[in-house]
Amino acid sequence: MADDYFKPELALNPATDSAVPYAVATIYALSDTDRLTPLAITDMFDIPMSNLVAGPNGIYPAFKTVSGVKDVNAVAGGGSLVTPLTSVQGNKGEQGEPGQSGIGLPDAENLPDGYVPVTTGGVWSAGPAPASGGTGTGGVSEGTLYYVWNGTAYVDRLGQTPPVAKPAGWWVLRQFLTNGDPNAPFPTYPTWAGVEDRWARPAA
């Protein structure tokens, strides 16, 4: 149900810790500590209710507040029976404030071909997905080829820069990582047919 409402609850006698059959309660906002302004309530079909009346088993029926108040007291027995109630939406909590403009994952449609949006420590970038296979320099039928920025160029684990042509074997993707250097340049090496290029750099 889209509308906020209060679920059925026990009309509880706190002195005996037992339910009170046919308890007749008036509904007040939790903030109305002096109980000066009863809240207008309806049943689940929006039919007005003068009071909240428990059934023979001592359970108050589901209801709604006209004003949308989420935290109320159901007060019965001349004020001796007070049942605090919170609506369904109130139990979920209020939606938080939106984040700052421009912070968050980028639109994947605006990323270059072969890139994926990733986030680390709350900072987003375009970068590699979790890799399968190992690191190597050729001759492997399936894996991931890493190149890491060394301050001058992107090099593989043997210190070699990416070749112009794809090495022997088929690689799932090439990953250009900056080793945390926010000033590392964008890779300018040729794209190999059938091989994805991905790149990650932290925010400067």
Q: What is the DSSP string of 8-21?
A: -EE-EETTTTEE-T
User: What pLDDT shows up at residue 194?
Assistant: 67
Do 121 and 32 share a structural domain? no
Domain-embedded: residue 2 = no
> Could you say which of 63, 92, 121 is where a domain stops?
92
pTM (2 d.p.)? 0.46
User: What pLDDT shows up at residue 49?
Assistant: 94
Average pLDDT for the chain: 75
> Could you say which of 44, 59, 92 is where a domain stops?
92
Do 108 and 182 share a structural domain? yes
- Closest by Cα among 10, 39, 34 to 23: 10
**Position with higher pLDDT, 19 vs 109:** 19
- State the pLDDT confidence band at 145, using cuts at 50, 70 and 90: confident
Do 152 and 189 share a structural domain? yes
How far apart are the C-alpha atoms of 188 and 198, rounded to whole Å?
Answer: 12
Our count of domains for the chain comes to: 2
- State the pLDDT confidence band at 51, using cuts at 50, 70 and 90: very high
Is the pLDDT at 179 greater than 70? The verdict is yes
Domain-embedded: residue 3 = no
Is the pLDDT at 134 greater than 70? The verdict is no
- Closest by Cα among 192, 135, 133, 189 to 158: 135
**Position with higher pLDDT, 69 vs 100:** 69
Do 86 and 131 share a structural domain? no
